[in-house]
Structure 1
Amino acid sequence: MTDFEKRIYNSYLAVTRSMNNKPFRLRKNFDGFEDKPEYIYVKKLANLFNRHHNINIDDFFRAPFTIYQDPEIYSIQFYTTQKAIKVYKIHLNKLKTDNN
């Protein structure tokens, strides 16, 4: 598992938990993480972020909470869908209009 993939997973944990006012602890030990089902989605997200350097990782994970204002914790699988990318685009447009 690469350092970038570790950073993605820890960002996911930090943002999704903090947006729901829940405590979190960053994962330090990634031994055996490649065997977990979440690793596939972390790998897909790493590919997405490597292809699109303009995506802010924390904002990407924060977007559904600001658009839907839903207390739900979104699974890491959600962030690999087209719906997550669309929500991120809406989030960016909302930030642009709020700044103007």
Structure 2
Amino acid sequence: MNRVVVAAHFCLFLTLLIVVWALPSGRFVLVVTDPSAPPAHMLSVIGGAGGAFVGPGRLPWMAIAYSDAEGFPTRLMQSGALLVLNHSLAAGCLQRDLK
């Protein structure tokens, strides 16, 4: 077998695995908005999608949001979010430096 073909298929497999893991599932999601937007933009995106702000991320353009309604990730994207990810990815985003 050609090593390039094997490597390409392996990379494709890893990409698909990461995408499935990062897809939003459940009521809590990690919302990512435009880094150049003011911090209030995050709240307007979440509120515009009918969700509730749960907590901030490490950066002002990342936050955890909550909603019971179906289609919440889609509404967040329509409201202005750049990415809507599985909230389990927020564990690293919420850790603060203890300096």
**TM-score normalised by length of structure 1:** 0.26
- Whichever structure has more strand as a proportion of its residues is 2
State which structure, 1 or 2, has the greater radius of gyration over its C-alpha atoms.
2
